[in-house]
Chain A
Amino acid sequence: MYLYDELDRTLVTERVAEFRDQVGRRLSGELTEEEFRPLRLMNGIYLQLHAYMLRIAIPYGTLSSVQMRMLAQVARRYDRNFGHFTTRQNIQFHWIKLEELPDAMADLASVGLHGMQTSGNCVRNITTDQWAGVAPDEIEDPRIWAEVLRQHLTMHPEFSFLPRKFKIALTAATHDRAAVKVHDIGLRLHRDGAGETGFEVMVGGGLGRTPFTAKTIKPFLPKRDLLSYVEAILRVYNSYGRRDNIYKARIKILVHDLGAEAFAKEVEAEWRQIKDGPLALDPAAVDDIAARFRYPAYERLADSPPALAAARSDRLFGAWLANSVANHKVDGYAIVTLSLKPEGGTPGDATAEQMDAIAELADRYSFGEIRVGHEQNLVLPHVAQRDLPRLWRALDAAGLATPNVGLVSDIISCPGLDYCSLANTRSIPVAQEISRRFRDRDLARDLGPLHINISGCINACGHHHVGNIGILGVEKNNEEFYQITIGGRADENAAIGTLIGPAVPYADVADVVEDIVAAYLELREDPQETFLQTVDRTGIEPFKERVYATR
Chain B
Amino acid sequence: MPLVKRGRVVEDPYLRVVDDAPIPDGAAVIVPAARFLADAAELSRRSAPTGLIWPNDRKIAELAPWLDRLALIALTFPNFRDGRAYTQARQLRERYGFRGELRATGEILRDQFLFLTRAGFDSLEVKKAADAAAYAEAVGRYSVFYQPSANGFAPAQRRRLLGSTAGGERTATTADLAS
Contacts and interface: CB of A to CB of B under 8 A. Distances in A.
**Contact present between A and B (CB < 8 A):** yes
A155 B116 CA distance: 12
Interface in B132-179: 141-150, 156-161, 165-166
23 contacts: A7-B156, A8-B144, A10-B143, A11-B144, A14-B143, A18-B142, A21-B141, A35-B109, A151-B157, A154-B146, A155-B147, A156-B147, A157-B115, A157-B149, A158-B83, A158-B87, A235-B87, A238-B83, A239-B87, A243-B82, A273-B95, A284-B161, A288-B160
B83 A162 contact: yes
Nearest to B88: A239
| Interface range, B side | 35 or more
Contact of A238 (B84, B115, B118, B146): B84
Interface of A: 5-8, 10-11, 14-15, 17-18, 21-22, 30, 35, 38-39, 121, 151-152, 154-162, 235, 238-239, 243, 273, 278-279, 282, 284-285, 288-289
Contacts of A238: 83-84, 86-87
Nearest to A38: B81
B165 A157 contact: no
A11 B81 contact: no
B141 A7 contact: no
Contacts of B156: 7-8, 11, 151
B144 A14 contact: yes
Contacts of B118: 157
B90 A7 contact: no
Interface string B64-80: 00000000000000001
Given A7-B160, A38-B81, A157-B119, A22 B87 contact: no
Contacts of B111: 22, 39
Contact of B86 (A22, A39, A161): A161
Contacts of B146: 11, 151-152, 154-156
A31 B146 CA distance: 28
Nearest to B118: A157
Contact of A161 (B82, B145, B148, B161): B82
Given A18-B141, A157-B118, A239 B159 contact: no
Interface of B: 80-84, 86-87, 90, 95, 109, 111, 114-116, 118-119, 130, 141-150, 156-161, 165-166
- Max chain A CB contacts within 10 Å: which of B80, B150, B156, B157? B157
A37 B35 CA distance: 37
A6 B82 CA distance: 33
Contacts of A235: 87
B83 A161 contact: yes
Nearest 9 Cβ contacts at the A-B interface = A161-B83, A157-B118, A11-B144, A151-B146, A158-B86, A6-B165, A157-B115, A278-B148, A157-B119
A68 to B, nearest CB: 26
Nearest to B145: A155
A43 B158 CA distance: 26
A157 B86 contact: yes
B87 to A, nearest CB: 5
B147 A157 contact: yes
Given A152-B146, A157-B118, A288 B161 contact: yes
A158 B90 contact: yes
Contacts of A160: 83, 86, 115
Given A22-B111, A282-B161, 16 more contacts: A11-B156, A21-B141, A30-B130, A35-B109, A151-B156, A154-B146, A156-B146, A159-B83, A160-B83, A160-B115, A161-B83, A162-B83, A239-B84, A243-B84, A284-B161, A285-B157
B99 to A, nearest CB: 19
- Max chain A CB contacts within 10 Å: which of B84, B86, B147, B166? B147
Nearest to B149: A157
B147 A152 contact: yes
Contacts of B143: 10, 14
Contacts of B159: 7
B62 to A, nearest CB: 14
A217 to B, nearest CB: 19
Contacts of B165: 5-7
B142 A155 contact: yes
Contacts of B80: 38, 161
Contact of A121 (B81, B84, B142, B145): B81
A39 B112 CA distance: 10
Contacts of A22: 111
B127 to A, nearest CB: 9
Nearest to A227: B147
A21 B159 CA distance: 28
- Max chain A CB contacts within 10 Å: which of B80, B111, B118? B111
Contacts of A30: 130
B157 A288 contact: yes
A301 to B, nearest CB: 35
Nearest to B164: A7
Given A39-B111, A285-B161, A161 B141 contact: no
A238 B149 CA distance: 17
B109 to A, nearest CB: 6
Contacts of B116: 157
